[in-house]
C-alpha cells in the first residue's frame, strides 16, 4: 500500500504542484488548506508524513504542530519563506523534523520526503542502546532517562540513536543530519542545533548546563555518560 503524505498549505497552486510530484513518486496524497482542516485530516488519514506550511488562516502551522504532537509522532516537514527564520527555528523546536524554504524545488521536496520516510522505516539489528542513565529501545521506539519515558520526535530519536552508537565520538552537524534524514544538505546543517536544544531540554537535568550532550567547538556534538 502506498504511503500517505498530508500536504497542508493555504495556496492552492502550491498544493496542486506538490501533490502532482508526490503522486508521480508513488505516494498517496491527502490535502488541507488550513491548520484546523489539517488536524481533522491527520486524525482521519493517519499520514506517514506531513508537509506543512507555517503561515495559514484559522490555525497556523506552529499551533498545528503543538496539537498534533500530543497525539501522533508523524514526521513533519515545514514549508517557510526565506525571511521566516524565527518561525523555522520555532517549528523545529516544537517538533518538526525538517524544513524546506519557499520558493522550493518540488524535486528537492520529494527527495527530502523520501529521506525522512526511509530513516523512519529503518529498523537496526541491535534493539537496545544504553549510555549512562539514557536507554534507547529501537524496537519499541522508546527512550527513557533514569527509567522515565521521554517523548522524542522521529528526527530527535534518530540523532540520539546515532550518538548512542558511538559514545564519546564527536559528530559533525553534517553527520548527524545524514543520520537523521538519510541525506545531508549543507544549507540545513544548522537545523541540528535546534534538534540538539530540544534533546537537551528533554534529557538533561539542567539543559543550560548539559552533562550528556556536549558541544565540541568547531565540530559539532558528542554524547557522554556524564
* Same-domain pairing of 117 and 158: no
pLDDT over threshold 80, residue 125:
no
* Same-domain pairing of 113 and 137: no
* Same-domain pairing of 91 and 31: yes
Q: State how far Cα 25 lies from the chain centre.
A: 21
* Same-domain pairing of 116 and 163: no
**pLDDT-based confidence at 189, cuts 50/70/90?**
low
Domain range for 73: 4-121
pLDDT at 188: 59
**For all residues of the chain together, what is the average pLDDT?**
87
Beta strands at 4-8 and 49-53: parallel, antiparallel or unpaired: parallel
Mean of the pLDDT values across residues 203-207? 94
**pLDDT-based confidence at 101, cuts 50/70/90?**
confident
pLDDT over threshold 90, residue 98:
no
* Same-domain pairing of 134 and 180: yes
Do 115 and 183 form a contact (C-beta atoms < 8 A)? yes
Edge-first strand listing for the sheet containing 128-131:
128-131, 134-137, 142-145, 148-150
* Same-domain pairing of 147 and 109: no
* Same-domain pairing of 104 and 165: no
133-152 pLDDT per residue, tens: 999 998 888 999 999 999 99
Q: Choose one of 97, 121, 145: the last residue of a domain.
A: 121
Region of residue 175 (left: phi > 0; alpha: psi -120 to 50; beta: else): alpha
Cα–Cα distance measured from residue 41 to residue 43, given in angstroms and rounded to the nearest whole number: 5
pLDDT over threshold 70, residue 123:
no
Do 171 and 220 form a contact (C-beta atoms < 8 A)? yes
CATH number for the domain spanning 207: value is 1.10.10.10
* Same-domain pairing of 115 and 134: no
- How many independent structural domains does the chain possess? 2
* Distance between start and end Cα atoms, the chain: 44
pLDDT over threshold 50, residue 184:
no
The secondary structure element, H or E, covering residue 205 is none
Cα–Cα distance measured from residue 62 to residue 6, given in angstroms and rounded to the nearest whole number: 16
Q: Choose one of 121, 145, 172: the last residue of a domain.
A: 121
The residue whose grid cell reads 524554504 is 101
Question: What are the angstrom distances between the C-alpha of 89 and each of 37, 40, 135, 148?
Answer: 24, 25, 27, 27
The DSSP line for 75-141 is -EEEEEETT-HHHHHHHHHHT--EEEEES--HHHHHHHHHHHHHHHH---S--EEEETTEEEETTTT
Instruction: Look up the pTM and report it.
Output: 0.60
* Same-domain pairing of 142 and 219: yes
Whether omega before 199 lies within 30 degrees of 0, making that bond cis, reads: no
* Same-domain pairing of 88 and 113: yes
Q: State how far Cα 140 lies from the chain centre.
A: 18
Q: Choose one of 67, 87, 121: the last residue of a domain.
A: 121
65-97 pLDDT per residue, tens: 989 988 888 999 998 876 566 766 777 777 788
pLDDT at 191: 81
* Same-domain pairing of 113 and 174: no
CATH number for the domain spanning 95: value is 3.40.50.2300
* Same-domain pairing of 73 and 38: yes
Question: What are the angstrom distances between the C-alpha of 132 and each of 63, 168, 201?
Answer: 35, 12, 17
Amino acid at each position: 500500500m502506498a504511503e500517505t503524505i498530508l500536504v497542508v498549505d493555504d495556496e492552492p497552486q502550491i498544493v496542486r504542484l506538490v501533490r502532482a510530484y508526490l503522486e508521480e513518486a508513488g505516494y498517496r496524497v491527502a490535502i488541507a488548506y488550513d491548520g484546523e482542516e489539517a488536524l481533522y485530516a491527520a486524525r482521519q488519514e493517519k499520514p506517514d508524513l506531513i508537509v506543512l506550511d507555517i503561515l495559514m488562516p484559522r490555525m497556523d502551522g506552529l499551533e498545528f504542530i503543538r496539537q498534533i504532537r500530543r497525539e501522533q509522532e508523524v514526521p513533519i516537514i515545514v514549508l517557510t519563506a526565506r525571511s521566516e527564520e524565527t518561525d523555522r527555528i520555532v517549528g523545529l523546536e516544537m517538533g518538526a523534523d525538517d524544513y524546506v524554504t519557499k520558493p522550493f524545488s518540488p524535486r528537492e521536496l520529494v527527495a527530502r520526503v523520501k529521506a525522512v520516510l526511509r530513516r523512519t522505516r529503518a529498523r537496526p539489528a541491535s534493539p537496545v542502546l544504553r549510555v549512562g542513565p539514557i536507554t534507547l529501545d529501537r524496537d519499541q521506539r522508546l527512550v527513557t532517562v533514569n527509567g522515565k519515558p521521554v517523548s522524542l520526535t522521529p528526527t530527535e530519536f534518530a540523532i540520539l540513536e546515532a550518538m548512542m552508537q558511538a559514545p564519546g565520538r564527536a559528530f559533525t552537524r553534517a553527520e548527524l543530519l545524514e543520520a537523521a534524514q538519510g541525506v545531508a544538505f549543507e544549507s540545513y546543517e544548522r537545523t541540528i542545533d535546534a534538534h540538539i536544544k530540544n534533546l537537551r531540554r528533554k534529557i538533561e537535568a539542567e539543559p543550560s548546563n548539559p552533562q550528556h550532550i556536549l558541544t565540541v567547538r568547531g565540530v559539532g556534538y558528542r554524547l557522554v555518560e556524564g
